[in-house]
């Protein structure tokens, strides 16, 4: 099974991030601009949290709070599950499913080197299965 390291090599290791003091409105604008569903919250190079569209919906919209006046630190998830680049795609899929998370920061030597989403993981599994099917069809036909 493919490792996260290979997934980052093919998809890229762009990390979209905000500071804890960033107003939630700016965070949502950045998510829309980058076409992502979550951003890492970092103080310098230190990961302090993650904020998702789900956090916004539940902690701003449903509670009637102001997204312009609320810092992201007040709605982010502070306990962030991370993975290493040598983690397998299958292990990450299990982690996402069991923990009900959609984004996993990839950390190597205490440094964030990328982020994988459940969509990235599903795509990797589908691609791998397609290659295996093609290989089996050639074997049977050969």
Is it the case that residue 104 has pLDDT exceeding 90? Answer: yes
CATH of the domain at 28: 3.10.580.10
Number of structural domains found in the chain: 1
Q: What is the pLDDT of residues 49-102, one digit of tens each?
A: 999 999 999 999 989 999 999 999 999 999 899 999 999 999 999 999 999 999
Question: Average pLDDT, whole number, for the chain?
Answer: 94
Crossing angle for the helix pair 89-99 and 4-11, nearest 10 degrees?
Answer: 90
Mean pLDDT along residues 33-56: 96
Range(s) of the domain holding residue 75: 4-141
Q: Give the helix/strand (H/E) hosting 1.
A: none
Q: What is the pTM of this model?
A: 0.88
Band (12; pLDDT cuts 50, 70, 90) = confident
Rounded Cα distance, 109 and 119, in Å = 25
Query: Which of 4, 18, 34 is closest to 95 using CA atoms?
Result: 4
Determine the angle formed by the axes of helices 89-99 and 118-141, rounding to 10 degrees.
140
């Amino acid at each position: 099974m493919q490792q996260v390291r290979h997934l980052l090599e093919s998809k890229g290791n762009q990390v979209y991030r905000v500071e804890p003091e960033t107003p939630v409105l700016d965070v949502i604008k950045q998510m829309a601009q980058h076409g992502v569903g979550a951003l890492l919250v970092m103080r310098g190079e230190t990961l302090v949290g993650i904020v998702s569209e789900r956090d916004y919906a539940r902690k701003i919209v449903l509670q009637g709070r102001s997204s312009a006046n609320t810092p992201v630190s007040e709605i982010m998830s502070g306990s962030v599950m991370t993975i290493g680049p040598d983690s397998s795609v299958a292990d990450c899929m299990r982690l996402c499913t069991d923990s009900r998370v959609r984004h996993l920061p990839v950390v190597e030597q205490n440094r964030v080197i990328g982020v994988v989403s459940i969509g990235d993981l599903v795509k990797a599994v589908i691609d791998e299965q397609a290659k295996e099917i093609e290989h089996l069809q050639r074997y049977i036909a050969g």
